[in-house]
Structure 1
Amino acid sequence: MTISVKNEKEEENDTYTEALEAMKNDPDIRVMRQFRQHTVSNTFNHVCHVARMSHKIEKRLHVKVDEKSLLRGAVLHDYYLYDFRDHPMGAYRHGTSHAGTALKNAEEKFNLNETEKNIIYSHMWPLNLTHLPRCKEAWIVTLADKICAFEEMVLHINFSEG
Structure 2
Amino acid sequence: MKNNNWRQDSEYVALVSDLLATPEVQKLADYTQHHHSTRLDHSIAVSYESYLIAKKYGLNVRATARAGLLHDLFYYDWRTTKFNLGSHAFIHPRVALRNAEKLTELSPMEKDIILKHMWGATAAIPKYRESLIVGLVDDVQAVTDFFMPLQQRFATWRRKQLSRVLNQIEK
Larger Rg, first or second structure (1 or 2): 2
Any idea what SS the aligned residue of 2:2 has?
strand
- The aligned residue for residue 5 of structure 1 is 2
Any idea what SS the aligned residue of 1:37 has?
coil
Is residue 28 from structure 1 mapped to residue 24 from structure 2 by the alignment?
Answer: yes
- The aligned residue for residue 120 of structure 1 is 114
Q: 2:147 aligns with which of 124, 129, 154?
A: 154
More helix by proportion, 1 or 2? 2
Q: 1:144 aligns with which of 134, 137, 151?
A: 137
Q: Percent identity?
A: 27
Let me know the Cα RMSD of the aligned residues.
2.3
> Could you list the runs of 5+ residues in structure 1 that have no partner in the other structure?
none
More strand by proportion, 1 or 2? 1
- State whether residues 57 and 144 of structure 1, in contact with CA within 8 Å, keep that contact through their aligned partners in structure 2: no
TM-score for the superposition, normalised by structure 1: 0.81
C-alpha distance in 2 between matches for 1:104 and 1:9:
26
Is residue 94 from structure 1 mapped to residue 94 from structure 2 by the alignment?
Answer: no
Q: 1:39 aligns with which of 21, 35, 41?
A: 35
Offset from partner CA, 1:82-133 (integer Å, 9 cap, x none): 121331349x81122211111122112221110000000000011111x111
Q: Report the number of matched residues.
A: 150
- The aligned residue for residue 68 of structure 1 is 62
Question: Which of 1 and 2 has higher RCO (CA within 8 Å, sep 6+)?
Answer: 1
Q: 1:50 aligns with which of 40, 46, 49?
A: 46
C-alpha distance in 1 between matches for 2:118 and 2:57:
21
Give the deviation of 1:21 after TM superposition: 4.2
Give the deviation of 1:6 after TM superposition: 4.1
TM-score for the superposition, normalised by structure 2: 0.77
